[in-house]
């Protein structure tokens, strides 16, 4: 069943023609070409598809596109306009090698952002809880946690160690 929805994506109002079978992740990737939204499992485990839906981090593979009519969505693309304009969280991930294959990274960045917005000085334990919904099969998480600790310092204006 075809239908049209209105969504505000990364600050822009969009009318999007969708199929009612589409999940939000597919709408973002296929209709709006926001391919930073990665679909890992489509079962809500991996979190690579994490986006902000009405300012809250959710897994966009587990929400029907038809169900977000009128909503506001933020994807990883909103963090930066290009390589010369990285968000402090992205800079921290680059500096600390907080990724290997990079597939989980968009979700990690957004979960880190959600965490640091509500808790600017998280402990290591709080960071691990904050990214519990994001699976990385490469790094063992150590450098991701380190990246988020560094991102917290950058965002709090304390620079790099």
19 near another protein (CB under 8 A): yes
List 14's β-bridge partners, or say none. Answer: 7
Alpha-carbon span 87 to 37, nearest angstrom: 17
Q: Can you list the positions of beta strands (E) in 26-110?
A: 50-53, 56-59, 72-74
Residues 99-118 that bind another protein (CB under 8 A): 111, 114-115
Nearer to another protein by C-beta: 17 or 69?
69
CB of 149 to another protein, least distance (A): 18
**Pair type for strands 2-9 and 50-53:** unpaired
Nearer to another protein by C-beta: 64 or 86?
64
53 near another protein (CB under 8 A): yes
H-only helix segments in the chain: 24-26, 88-95, 105-118, 124-130, 142-155
Enumerate binding residues for another protein (CB under 8 A). Answer: 1, 3, 19-23, 26, 42-45, 47, 50, 53, 56-59, 61-64, 66-67, 69, 111, 114-115, 128-130, 132-133
């Amino acid at each position: 069943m075809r239908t049209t929805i209105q969504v505000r994506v990364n600050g822009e109002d969009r009318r999007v023609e969708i199929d009612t079978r589409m999940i939000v992740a597919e709408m973002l990737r296929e209709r709006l070409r926001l391919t930073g939204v990665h679909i890992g499992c489509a079962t809500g485990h991996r979190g690579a598809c994490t986006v902000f839906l009405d300012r809250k981090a959710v897994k966009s593979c587990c929400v029907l596109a038809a169900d977000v009519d009128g909503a506001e969505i933020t994807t990883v693309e909103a963090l930066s306009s290009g390589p010369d304009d990285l968000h402090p969280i992205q800079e921290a991930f680059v500096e600390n090698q907080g990724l290997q294959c990079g597939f989980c990274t968009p979700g990690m960045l957004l979960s880190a952002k959600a965490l640091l917005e509500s808790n600017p000085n998280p402990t290591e334990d709080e960071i691990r809880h904050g990214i519990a919904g994001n699976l990385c099969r490469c790094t063992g998480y150590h450098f991701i946690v380190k990246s988020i600790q560094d991102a917290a310092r950058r965002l709090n204006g304390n620079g790099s160690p």
